Each structure stands twice: as structure tokens, then as C-alpha cells.
Amino acid sequence: MSENEEMVAVPKIRRSNHRWSDRPKLAPDAASRQGQVTKLAFEAFGGKDAAIAYLNMDSQALGGRPLDIATESVEGLKRVERDIAEQKGGISASAGTDT
């Protein structure tokens, strides 16, 4: 260090316990359905990119995004499971559900 340089204490950045998102946290049952449909889509479409594309597309047949439809209710999850099965030609619509 040269004579003109001083050591400056740099404060540590502290992480807060606040969520980064303002969106409300999913209820446990909705989070479970979200996980189920995500797993099913990954398996049915053979990977992450295709599954994410399907789950986030606006489906006219379902009336919205498959991820949103499946997360809303058990019936919505079943509708999305049937849609995936129809698109993939016979994958069991009950795969990934515990009901």
C-alpha cells in the first residue's frame, strides 16, 4: 500500500429475512399440486425446457396457464394431468397424484 492509501472498512452486506417477492406464499396443498404437476410435466415432456414451456403457455383448451390451473384446485390438477396425457398419447392421467 502506498502512503496515500488508507484502509477503509467495508461493511458486510446483511441479508434480511424478508422474502424477495411480494407475492403471497402458496398454501401447502397448492404447493403440493404445483410440485406434482411440475414433476409430471418433466417426466412427460422429457426435460426441463419442454416442461417449463408447457406449464407456462397460455392454453386455450384449459383456459389459462397449466401451472396456474393445476395449482388452483384438485380438479384443475386433474384437468392438466388429462391434457398432458392427451398430448403425450396415453401417459397415465393419475401419475403423480396421491388422491
CA gap 61, 64 in Å, rounded: 8
Query: What's the pLDDT score for residue 94?
Result: 43
Residue-level pLDDT, tens digit, the chain, 99 residues? 555 566 676 666 666 665 566 667 889 999 999 999 999 999 999 999 999 999 999 999 999 999 999 999 999 999 999 999 998 875 444 444 444
CA gap 79, 16 in Å, rounded: 39
Query: What's the pLDDT score for residue 80?
Result: 97
pTM of the model: 0.67
